[in-house]
Each structure stands twice: as structure tokens, then as C-alpha cells.
Amino acid sequence: MTTPNPPFPVSDLARFHEEVLGWFDDAARDLPWRRDASPWAVMVSEFMLQQTPVARVLPVYAAWLERWPTPADLAAEATGEAVRAWGRLGYPRRALRLHAAAVAIVERHGGEVPHSREELLALPGVGDYTAAAVESFAFGGRAVVLDTNVRRVFARVVSGVQFPAAGVTAAERELATTLVPVADAHRWAAATMELGALVCTARSPRCEECPVADICRWRAAGFPAYDGPARRGQAWDGTDRQCRGRLLALLRDAPGPVEKASLDAVWPDAKQRERCLDGLVADRLVEPVGDDSFALPGHRPR
């Protein structure tokens, strides 16, 4: 494990804060979860934004909050409705986990998203990142928010490497903690996230637009190439993920249970299709209905 370079000198750290926060004041996108930073709105956005671009999230997020403006509204619905409303965002187990979190919020916290890190982490589907994001963006807490974009900014500007490690290391978290300003910690989290999303991107960083290019250690070192383990892209065509998505899409669009023969028609590889259907049932994203039909979970016969 490579130890990160020491944090900035105090003067550079002050500039890092000042320049990035100033840039954010002018460059921040007008996103609905920033306009409405209520705890529930922030939690919904964070679940949806995991491994999913903002552009794909926006319409689903708007429809979700219109239909379920509070955790209690979602908790009162069948889990299958959450899966249906999730649409084509991908990784639909997130919909089940968000529904389960809403139920837990109602049962344990009177319908209000909890404030403390411990209570947030105890909710289904909430890990370190999501808990920190809710604590920071919804409650203004001084949390260390480390998503992919923030980690890449810190790796380049402070540690002088192109990409961070595959997973968050203790040294990386310790470094990020030293970078959080005393004031405006929640804005710092949002600003560094935005800088990574818009300027310090993974493939084509726009260094000429970066507010801290002149103190970036990666730039000063001549942009050394990443020398860690191979970074694998995610395949799609022909994968189980694609097959599962096809099966779920048919079930989402159907008003009721779908016969097995109709599901068989959406994917040609019978062995893979059966494996994926079994996996969806095991993950509780689909449930059998009768002898030869399937539906989203919580289906109520009409």
C-alpha cells in the first residue's frame, strides 16, 4: 500500500479551500437535491446517484419525490412499486434498500431521517459514504465525504497521483480528514465533488479550467500515469446484468403478473436466462405468482 504524500503546507491548504469554494460559488450546477436539502431528499438522491450519472437520475428523482415526499409515503407502498418506479437506473436492489430504509425510519425514528452517524449507518443500504453525505448535505455536519470524484481530486491535487486506490484506505481517509475546513465543511464536500465531476474528470481532465491547477501535485509532477492494479471497465452486452435488466423491464411495464413464456422471449440464452430469473427471485426483486407466472414483489391480485 502506498502512503500518500504529506498534506499541503498551511498556505497551500488555505488556497485550496479558498479557490475551490470560490469556484463552486460560480460553477455549481442547479441540482434539485441542493435546492431541497431536506434529509429525505438528500438520502433519495444519494441512493440514486450511486454508480449512475446525474442526467439519468434527475427525472426519476423528481417523480420519486413527487410520489413519495416522505419516508412514510414510501414505506406504505409495496416493495414492487419501488422497483417499478426505479425504472432503468440500474442496480435495482438499491430500490429495495431505499424502501427498507424508509420502513426503518418510520419504525425506529418516527418517520424522520436520523441525524447521528450511528443511527444512519444502522439503516438498510446506508454505508459510510451515504451516512457522511446525509450528515454533511442535510444537516451541515463536518463529515468526510469521499465519493469517486472527491477521491480523484485529492489523489491528484494533494497526493500527486492520477487515481486513488480501488477502495478507500485508512491513510486516504486520514488525509481527507485533515483537508476538511473548520467552517463550510458541507460546502467543501459539495465543491470538491463538483470539481471532480466537471473539471478533474477521470478520462479528460480540463486542467486549464481548474481553480487549483497551480498547486496540483499531479500536474507539477508532469502528469505521471497511474501505475496501480488494472482498472477494469464494466462490460454490458451479453452480461447477466443486461439479462436481468431485460427481465425486470418486462415486469415493470406489465400491469400484473407475466407468464413465463413471455419472459423466455426476451433473452435467447435459456441457461443464462434461468440463472438470472432465479437470481432476481433470490434477491427479492421478483416473486413467483402461481405455477408459471412472475411479478414484482408485493403484487396484489386484482
What residues act catalytically? 46
HEC assignment per residue over 133-176: HHHHHHCCCCCCCCCHHHHHHHHHHCCCCCCCCCCCCHHHHHHH
Residue with cell 391480485: 301
**Neighbouring residues of 156: CB distance < 8 A, sequence distance ≥ 6:** 162, 200, 205, 216, 217, 218, 219
User: What is the Cα–Cα distance from 196 to 226, expressed in whole angstroms?
Assistant: 17
Tell me if 279 sits within 8 A of 240, measured CB to CB. Answer: yes
User: What is the Cα–Cα distance from 234 to 236, expressed in whole angstroms?
Assistant: 7
Distances (CA, A) of 187 to 138, 184, 190, 233, 267: 11, 5, 5, 31, 46
Cell numbers for 252, please give them: 415493470
